[in-house]
Amino acid sequence: MPPKQKQTVSKSVSVLKNYPVLVKTIQSELRALDFFIRNRVAESYWRVGKFIHEYLLDHKGRARYGQRIFKRLAEDVGRDASTLQKMVRFYRAYPVLVDRPELTWSHYRLLMLVKDTDQRAKLEQRTVLNEWDATDLEEYLRKRKRSLALNLLSHSPIPQLKVTRGRMNTFNLVMSMAKGRGLQVDFGFRIHKDFHRKSHTHLGPDDCVAIGPQDTGNFLKATASKDELFTYRSEIVKIIDGDTFWGTIALPFEMTIDQKLRLRGIDCPEIGTAKGKAAKSFVESRLKGLKFIVAKTYKDTADKYDRYLTDIFYLRGETDESKVASEGRYLNQELLDERLATAYE
Distance CA 312, CA 287 (A): 10
End-to-end CA distance of the chain: 66
How many Cβ atoms sit within 10 Å of the Cβ of residue 86? 17
Residue 151 pLDDT: 62
Distance CA 222, CA 264 (A): 26
Shared domain check, 127 and 95? no
| Cα 32–chain centre separation | 30
Shared domain check, 245 and 213? yes
Residue 259 pLDDT: 92
Distance CA 155, CA 157 (A): 7
Distance CA 187, CA 335 (A): 29
Residue 212 pLDDT: 59
Give whole-number Cα distances, 119 to 18, 19, 48, 115, 177, in Å. Answer: 49, 47, 25, 8, 31
Shared domain check, 305 and 167? yes
Name the domain boundary from 112, 138, 163. 112
CB neighbour list of residue 245: distance below 8 Å, 6 or more residues apart:
236, 237, 238, 239, 260, 261, 262, 263, 310, 312
Residue 4 pLDDT: 46
CATH number at residue 202: 2.40.50.90
Taking Cα atoms as reference points, which of 257, 265, 258, 59 lies closest to residue 164? 265
Residue 20 pLDDT: 81
Residue 241 pLDDT: 92
Distance CA 205, CA 181 (A): 13
Number of residues in the chain: 345
Residue 216: strand, helix, or coil: coil
Please say whether the beta carbons of 247 and 237 come within 8 A: yes
Shared domain check, 86 and 202? no
How many Cβ atoms sit within 10 Å of the Cβ of residue 167? 22
Shared domain check, 108 and 141? no
Shared domain check, 26 and 147? no
In degrees, rounded to 5, the angle at the alpha carbon of residue 311 between the alpha carbons of residues 169 and 257 is: 55
Distance CA 215, CA 267 (A): 38
Determine how β-strand 231-241 pairs with β-strand 293-299.
antiparallel
Shared domain check, 123 and 104? no
Name the domain boundary from 112, 146, 175. 112
Shared domain check, 181 and 54? no
Taking Cα atoms as reference points, which of 68, 98, 101, 73 lies closest to residue 87? 73
Shared domain check, 123 and 40? no
Side chain identity at residue 112, one-letter code: M
Residue 165 pLDDT: 94
* DSSP-assigned letter for residue 205: T
Taking Cα atoms as reference points, which of 156, 155, 114 lies closest to residue 276? 114
Distance CA 58, CA 52 (A): 10
How many Cβ atoms sit within 10 Å of the Cβ of residue 32? 10
How many Cβ atoms sit within 10 Å of the Cβ of residue 213? 14
Number of domains into which the chain is organized: 2
Q: What domain range includes position 14? A: 1-112
pTM: 0.60
Name the domain boundary from 77, 112, 147. 112
Side chain identity at residue 319, one-letter code: T
Shared domain check, 100 and 143? no
Per-residue pLDDT in tens (0 to 9) along the chain, 345 residues: 444 444 444 444 454 567 788 888 888 888 788 777 777 888 899 999 999 988 888 776 665 666 788 888 988 998 888 889 999 999 998 888 877 778 888 899 899 888 777 778 888 888 888 888 888 888 888 877 766 666 666 667 888 999 999 999 899 999 888 877 788 999 998 898 888 766 666 788 888 888 855 555 677 788 888 889 999 999 999 999 999 999 999 998 889 999 999 999 998 988 888 888 999 999 999 999 999 999 999 987 655 566 789 999 999 999 999 999 999 999 999 999 988 998 875
DSSP 49-106: HHHHHHHHHHTTTSTTHHHHHHHHHHHHHT--HHHHHHHHHHHHH-SS----TT--HH
Residue 173: strand, helix, or coil: strand
Shared domain check, 87 and 32? yes
Shared domain check, 107 and 199? no
